[in-house]
Amino acid sequence: MALLKCLLALREMRETRDAQSLRRARDARAQADAAVTRAERALEQGLMETRRQEDALFDGMRGALWPLSTVQGMHGRLEALRQGAETLRDGVAEAEAQRTQSQARLETAQAVHRRSRKQADKASEVHAAHEREARLLSERKEDMEMEEVAASRRPVA
């Protein structure tokens, strides 16, 4: 009986630990989602800023002959803007990868939690069954003792 109680206590501690792990995994997933959202927003803002800079660059030179140095300078600025956009895209991809990893950890934690819950429920059922058996056995023993007492009080004929 004590062993079953100890087992139940251990299972409860395990379930608590698994629940904490599940909460941490959910928090990590939420943080990853937020990071993806921030990265996507930064990418959108970066792309809009790039377009504004490109438009300003071309508008400033509209209708004029462009000397080679200006074209080369414009090419360099456009290349820098392109690299900035690529960096932002890489950030979004990295945030997506982190979100995928967080989702996998969350699913693993949920599976462990479900398994622990099932084991704890099963242990509780076994414990309850043992308690019922012990109670029935003690009741039966009491009934037999009462029958023995009643039999000993009967007059012997």
Taking 60 as the threshold, does the pLDDT of residue 24 lie above it? Answer: yes
pLDDT of residue 64: 67
Its pTM stands at 0.51
Proportion of the chain above pLDDT 90, given as a percent: 8
Hey, what are 55's tokens?
């438009």
Distance of CA 18 to the CA centre of its chain: 11
Taking 90 as the threshold, does the pLDDT of residue 139 lie above it? Answer: yes
Place of tokens 């084991």: 119
Angle between the N-to-C axes of helices 68-153 and 2-60, in degrees from 0 to 180, rounded to the nearest 10: 170
pLDDT, tens digit, 9 for 90 and up, residues 29-79:
888 888 888 888 888 887 888 788 878 777 766 666 667 787 788 788 888
Average confidence (pLDDT) over 123-139: 89
Is the Cα dihedral 11, 14, 15, 16 positive or negative? positive
Domains of the chain: 2-60+70-139 (1.10.287.1700)
